[in-house]
Amino acid sequence: MADCIFCKIAAKEIPSQLVYEDEELVAFKDINPQAPVHVLIVPKKHIPHLLALDPADADLLKRVHAAISKLTRELGIADSGFRVVVNTLKDGGQTVPHLHFHVLGGRFMNWPPG
Ligand code: AMP
Ligand code: ZN
């Protein structure tokens, strides 16, 4: 989608620190990390938020799970633990209207979130 920053990153029109890519996903380091490890897993397709996912996108969620599994092992947080966050719409604190999965780790993640 025009003027979507994550569409542009997925299309390599804007540089990012890519850590993973397959046919349907990219993952890159968050520009403003909130933990020692903070990556974003982003569908290449423009999906505005979690509830805009279609049942036909089920395969995408399998890929997201596989990417989380691979990335957390590679980034050394699979055993210590990590948090996956999908901020959704206004009260969820979503600031980029293109679905993304935050993967945060490398320190203890507090609860409740702010
Ligand atoms: P959210 O607030 O959940 O929508 O998350 C958006 C995230 O995207 C924030 O953590 C930002 O730091 C991150 N972000 C915004 N622009 C970029 C960019 N160009 N490259 C990497 N991360 C970005
Ligand atoms: Zn987009």
Tell me if 9 is assigned to some domain.
yes
Instruction: Give the count of beta carbons closer than 10 Å to the beta carbon of residue 76.
Output: 12
Tell me if 87 is assigned to some domain.
yes
Residues with CB under 6 A from ligand 1: 5, 16, 28, 30-32, 40, 87, 93-96
Q: Which ligand is nearest to the CA of 87?
A: 1
Tell me if 111 is assigned to some domain.
no
Per-residue pLDDT of the chain (114 residues; tens, 9 = 90+): 889 999 999 999 999 999 999 999 999 999 999 999 999 999 999 999 999 999 999 999 999 999 999 999 999 999 999 999 999 999 999 999 999 999 999 999 999 998
Tell me if 114 is assigned to some domain.
no
CATH classification of the domain holding 48: 3.30.428.10
Domain span holding position 28 = 5-105
Residues serving a catalytic function are 100
Per the CB < 8 A criterion, the answer to whether 19 and 28 are in contact is yes
Per the CB < 8 A criterion, the answer to whether 99 and 42 are in contact is yes
32 backbone dihedrals φ, ψ, rounded to 5°: -130, 70
Please give the tally of structural domains in the chain: 1
Q: Which residue lies with its CA nearest to atom 12 of ligand 1?
A: 32
* CA neighbours closer than 13 Å in the CB half-sphere of residue 94: 17
Q: Which ligand is nearest to the CA of 96?
A: 1
